[in-house]
Amino acid sequence: MLDIISLDIYLKTHTVPSEETMRHHHHDHHCAGRRHGHHGGDGELSRGRKFSAEDLQLLLLALIAEQASHGYELIKELAARSNGYYSPSPGMVYPALTYLEEIGQVTVEPAGNRKRYSIADAGRNELGLQRERADLMLAKLSHIGRKMELARRAYAGEEIGDEGAAGWTREMIEARRALKRTLLLRDNADAAEQNRIAAILQRATAEILGETPPASCQPDPRSQN
């Protein structure tokens, strides 16, 4: 059964990448991966934080691109995707929407006493530049939402089965654990060994995403002789 205490610790300490964190971790290191958008980043999680103001603006832009919405609908959508974990207040959302309107990334259409927000061409362009970052944040919200649902089921005494704390299969969980153990055993590796491991991980990442890894990530034929 799901360990509720462990889940609580996870939710308190693992959140989505903040603007500051993503700038800090934007390295130009060996065999670097894709870099889209203004800030890039490697998906490193910040500690004890949810979303920055810039993150929220991008999230709202991504949701509006999917469907023109009222402000309260956007709040409900963020809460639904995270299963209640992230539900920004109107005092956070409406100033963000006003800012997006002022810089021309969304348009506003009055609908009675409400405003309906639609994405503008400038917003589509900005979202295109930051698509990977937006998708990462949305995926993290959904991931936490699944964990919240499993926590609810466990608290209600329901049988969780083999999917574990994140909805993953047992094989997925075991593979993740094996990778963590292997990296721990290579904790004192020299620079050459670290670069070799980094190239392996980058090739695996590209394969998972269905992409072609950079040439610098390809194995050296001389090392296989």
Give me the number of domains the chain comprises. Answer: 2
Q: Is residue 164 part of a domain?
A: no
Low-confidence residues in the chain, pLDDT < 50: 1-7, 9-30, 32-48
What's the CA gap between 22 and 126, in Å, rounded?
17
Find how far residue 104's CA is from the centre of its chain: 26
Q: Are residues 148 and 174 in the same domain?
A: no
Pair of tokens at residue 110: 């009055």
Please tell me the distance from the alpha carbon of residue 58 to that of residue 56, in angstroms, as a whole number.
5
DSSP state of 219: P
SS (H, E, C) 46-89: CCCCCCCHHHHHHHHHHHHHHCCEEHHHHHHHHHHHCCCCCCCC
pTM of the model: 0.58
- Tell me which residue range forms the domain holding 187: 169-224
Residue 161 lies in a domain: no
End-of-domain residue from the set 107, 125, 154: 154
The CATH number linked to 28 is 1.10.10.10
- The total number of residues written for the chain in this structure: 225
**pLDDT tens across 112-159, in order?**
889 999 999 999 999 999 999 999 999 989 888 888 887 777 777 776
Same structural domain, 150 and 204: no
pLDDT at 153: 74
Residue 133's pLDDT is 94
| Average pLDDT of the chain, as a whole number | 76
